[in-house]
Structure 1
């Protein structure tokens, strides 16, 4: 029995008719509670030619406490900086995640800046979620033989509280997924199903920004170090690629991370490769997040609905945001917001189980 299971609530957002900012989709949102207790959503809005902005909206709930619609409030970020714009006139601020990071007393948004060098992780901060100040690209120390500064990188999010690094320094921790050229699904789909996994180049990583006692914490120009390889593809449902999803949230079992995995679609051929993006769950140790306590051997959500199987990119569920329902007195309920076929946004809910399996089996 899988101890986590997502139950769909609704398709909560889809492209608005006549809105030029959304003609190619609304997808992959961040969600977080604001200072006013309201739930804010930050969808990726895709205009013509895959030009992406990050919007702002407020989630509305029905009498049963379930989310059912979004009130659009405007734009949080759009491509303005050189690292967000491409020479051909394109650009992108994509796929945000947001955490309130206590040590900097700000909401921190990580997002994919799609600029001249390809996708890179960028940051912005806010006190109120309505106005945002850019902090620039994330910088990494060298990790031989890998240089994260010169490789595509996505799917980044912060832990909300300070944590000890592998070297026991008090730090701010960030999940991310470097995309080495040989580790993208377009490459791995062509390899044998029993291929060996390149652990360094196909993993979700945790990197740390070490805090210094007595100094003000500032993420601008911060250098992340103490890189730790967290997880690589293990199970058949995630064999081609895994990536971090929603920011981790603390539960009674540890840090809950909803992530995505990619496998070959049943109709995949050499001439027409097709993929299936599904959602899974990891639970990480509260005080040592490098330790995986539990990992779902099967996906907790797979593309089944028409909204998930037909779209800009079909057969995709892509989790990027979570909301713990303390607001209705149900702290064990987690609502998960996810992209649907790169075109719409869905929301599903789960209940944190009372007990986890004593172990998970690594294949």
Structure 2
């Protein structure tokens, strides 16, 4: 949103300037795709893939603005008559920071050159020491709940752990308390309260390149105090003849509510003689008790096979982070980081993906 200032209207009536310089006014509820066409390409002729790639991937290359070495693991949401996003970006220091971005179509992006600056809520104190300018921030997710967007990311302030901030305009970000003690990654909120509680998926980890990891769910009455931690899924699959998620797993995009349960797209990692390999997978969670797994797909949805997924700063990575869903059109667009270098898109029919997850389910 270059050189633009939000109006004083409510989030449902706010205006913003698109990358082309046109003034747009919100015509739908924030966080929803009503009236907005999500990115979409038909499945290639002759293909039977459940998930297929955007033909001109990456949609955001490694250098969208000067002096950048990579932009990836990007959280995209509907905003007004277009889309907004929070992106992991690394400049020539290779230090990870979050940047905002704007798009009319979800494919062509304007990335803000200055990183996000988080304000601290006046009623909250993160701790006795000021937040360092150099606190790293990476792998964001963005979720609309009730009346605002919540941004979660892996933060370096007393981390790595799950940090949280709110925004209504993607220009001002108010930081809340960290959700958990270190060490933790992949904090993914559900898009509505369940039984009156906020719900978040996460993956407890270590302070390095975590060679383990399982998905847990935590609850909060106020987005500050988190508890009732429940195991959702563990890594593994050796006994079932499934290797692609044997080392670690982590939640990806915001879960999608369907009649069959919450569709959770996640990453599954296996260790090889040449390092980790990251894949895209799927599961269905119970709508009212989302720590209960209804189905867990044994098959990889997307493996690192394209050159931009195999070659990069970290090779062999498909890391899903965000999803745009148009349930009326049965369309799903998934944003994923490729080789820790660029941002890519993949597509699926929601109904096919749900059925495929159920039909190939092995719960363990």
Class of the TM-score when normalised by the shorter of the 2 chains: 0.7 to 0.9
Change (3 A) 1:182 1:39: closer
Let me know the Cα RMSD of the aligned residues: 2.6
Structure 2 contact 102–109 (Cα < 8 Å) conserved = yes
Structure 2 contact 64–111 (Cα < 8 Å) conserved = no
Structure 1 contact 76–132 (Cα < 8 Å) conserved = no
Structure 2 contact 100–116 (Cα < 8 Å) conserved = no
Q: More helix per residue: 1 or 2?
A: 1
Change (3 A) 1:69 1:154: same
Secondary structure of 1:307's counterpart equals helix
- Equivalent residue number for residue 220 of structure 2: 209
Among 170, 173, 188, which residue is 1:132 paired with?
Answer: 173
- Equivalent residue number for residue 37 of structure 2: none
Query: What does 1:197-346 align with in structure 2 at a 5 Å threshold?
Result: 202-210=213-221, 218-219=222-223, 222-235=224-237, 236-265=243-272, 268=273, 273-325=274-326, 330=329, 332-346=330-344
Structure 2 contact 119–173 (Cα < 8 Å) conserved = no
Q: More strand per residue: 1 or 2?
A: 1
Q: Could you list the runs of 5+ residues in structure 2 that have no partner in the other structure? A: 1-47, 121-128, 238-242
> Would you say how many aligned residue pairs link Structure 1 and Structure 2?
299
- Residue 263 of structure 1 and its aligned partner are, at CA, apart by 0.6
TM-score normalised by L of structure 1: 0.75
Query: What does 1:57-76 align with in structure 2 at a 5 Å threshold?
Result: 57-61=101-105, 67-75=106-114
Structure 1 contact 84–113 (Cα < 8 Å) conserved = no
Whether 1:46 and 2:46 are equivalent positions in the alignment is no
Whether 1:175 and 2:201 are equivalent positions in the alignment is yes
Structure 2 contact 164–179 (Cα < 8 Å) conserved = yes
Q: Could you list the runs of 5+ residues in structure 1 that have no partner in the other structure? A: 62-66, 140-148, 165-169, 189-201, 211-217
Distance 1:37 1:18 in 2: 24
- Equivalent residue number for residue 60 of structure 2: 13
- Residue 333 of structure 1 and its aligned partner are, at CA, apart by 1.1
Distance 1:288 1:262 in 2: 26
TM-score normalised by L of structure 2: 0.75
**CA deviation digits over 1:256-310, x for unaligned, max 9?**
1111011123xx1xxxx51110010111111221111111101100001111011
Query: What does 1:76-225 align with in structure 2 at a 5 Å threshold?
Result: 77-78=116-117, 85=132, 90-102=134-146, 105-115=147-157, 117-139=158-180, 149=181, 151-164=182-195, 170-180=196-206, 184-185=210-211, 202-210=213-221, 218-219=222-223, 222-225=224-227
- Equivalent residue number for residue 25 of structure 2: none
